[in-house]
């Protein structure tokens, strides 16, 4: 049995180069979300209780649809990364962990596609 | 020698259970819980948008759910989680720069997160209620 530690095995081989990607994307989307979430709060505040026609017309306007699409994009990246951290912290069995990470991808992409589809449908009509 | 193959129970470093709760660690846990709640809660946003896109009947149904007292309670919780996670995130971004990490400052920032999020949520809903003359 080898006495070498995992660190000893990789020492001197150089970094994997992708190590800071998770951290960096979490921060970039966090900064974007500060602006975009404030926009969402303002939008929901304005449209709360409004009838369907008003909401439909509002969501179809480019100055609303574009930030909404940006929020969906930034939001799903941020939440996928955050949930990945939680899964890796708490799910220790390898099989369940991989399954959870795959479901994390599926869920965030599903939410993102649904929201984007709705906004685009309202914008382009039909 | 079946016994030697069993995984050795090694001592673990002390975890949450051993510490007296401190504001930083409580806010750290709340940040995670809020994040998870927001994750699941994106279903609410997706439901609202897709209902608006589908038409009058779907939108009326979703509006009724959101307008129900229980629906409003969920939205109140969601807005607080959103604001709390945002303020907590700003605190973390500041900490990322190496600033605000002195014990007293870090504690003050953590208190600011919880007090600020409650105050902002209350102000938001109070403004909404007074503008519309009711919930």
Structural domains counted in chain A: 1
- Reported as a pLDDT band with limits 50, 70 and 90, residue B47 is very high
Instruction: Please tell me the distance in Å from B100's CA to the nearest CA on chain A.
Output: 18
In a domain, A51, yes or no: yes
Closest CA to A22 of A97, A68, A86: A86
- The answer on pLDDT for A123 being more than 90 is yes
A119/B128 touch (CB, cutoff 8 Å), yes or no: no
Q: Which residues contact B127 (CB under 8 A, 6 or more apart)?
A: A45
Strand, coil or helix: B73: helix
In angstroms, how far apart are the furthest CA atoms of chain A?
71
In a domain, A72, yes or no: yes
DSSP code, position B21: P
Q: What is the pLDDT of residue A99?
A: 98
Instruction: Please tell me the distance in Å from A54's CA to the nearest CA on chain B.
Output: 10
Contact A119, A68 (CB under 8 A): yes
In angstroms, how far apart are the furthest CA atoms of chain B?
77
pLDDT tens readout for residues A27-55: 999 999 999 999 999 999 999 989 999 99
- The token duo for A108 is 């965030």
In a domain, A15, yes or no: no
Instruction: Please tell me the distance in Å from B85's CA to the nearest CA on chain A.
Output: 10
What's the 3-state SS for A54-66? HHHHHHHCHHHHH
Place of tokens 């709640």: B37
Residue B22 and residue B108: Cα distance in Å, rounded? 12
Contact A56, B52 (CB under 8 A): yes
User: Is the confidence metric ipTM above 0.95 for this complex?
Assistant: no
* Average pLDDT estimate for B17-39: 92
* Average pLDDT estimate for B7-20: 78
Which residues of chain A are within 8 Å of residue B83 when distances are taken between CB atoms?
41
In a domain, A4, yes or no: no
- The answer on pLDDT for B2 being more than 70 is no
| All domains of chain B in start order, with CATH | 29-132 (1.20.1300.10)
Q: How many CA atoms lie within 13 A of B93 on its CB side?
A: 17
Q: Is-above-0.80 flag for pTM? A: yes
Mutation site, B42, B64, B79, B134, interface A, largest A CB count within 10 A: B42
Residues spanned by the domain of A88: 22-124
Whichever domain contains A47, its CATH number is 1.20.1300.10
Q: What is the pLDDT of residue A126?
A: 56
Contact A74, A30 (CB under 8 A): no
Residue A64 and residue A42: Cα distance in Å, rounded? 11
In a domain, A2, yes or no: no
Strand, coil or helix: A125: coil
In a domain, A13, yes or no: no
Contact B33, B82 (CB under 8 A): no
Residue of A nearest to B45 (CA): A115
């Amino acid at each position: 049995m080898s006495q070498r530690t995992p660190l000893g095995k990789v020492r001197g081989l150089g970094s994997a180069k992708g190590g800071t990607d998770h951290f960096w994307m979490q921060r970039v989307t966090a900064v974007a979300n500060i602006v975009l979430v404030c926009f969402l709060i303002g939008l929901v505040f304005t449209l709360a209780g409004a009838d369907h026609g008003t909401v439909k017309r509002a969501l179809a306007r480019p100055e609303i649809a574009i930030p909404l699409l940006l929020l969906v994009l930034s939001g799903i990246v941020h939440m996928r990364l955050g949930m990945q951290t939680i899964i890796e912290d708490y799910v220790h069995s390898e099989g369940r962990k991989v399954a959870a990470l795959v479901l994390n991808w599926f869920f965030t992409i599903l939410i993102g596609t649904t929201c984007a589809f709705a906004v685009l449908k309202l914008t382009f009509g039909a | 020698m079946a016994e030697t193959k069993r995984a050795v129970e090694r001592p673990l470093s002390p975890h949450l259970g051993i510490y007296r709760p401190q504001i930083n660690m409580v806010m750290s846990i709340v940040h995670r819980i809020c994040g998870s709640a927001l994750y699941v809660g994106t279903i609410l946003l997706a439901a609202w948008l897709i209902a608006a896109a589908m038409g009058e009947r779907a939108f009326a149904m979703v509006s009724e759910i959101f307008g129900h007292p229980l629906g409003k309670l969920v939205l109140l919780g969601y807005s607080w989680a959103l604001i709390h996670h945002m303020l907590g995130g700003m605190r973390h971004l500041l900490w990322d720069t190496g600033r605000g990490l002195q014990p007293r400052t870090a504690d003050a920032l953590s208190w600011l997160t919880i007090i600020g999020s409650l105050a902002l949520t209350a102000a938001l809903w109070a403004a909404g209620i007074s503008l519309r003359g009711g919930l």
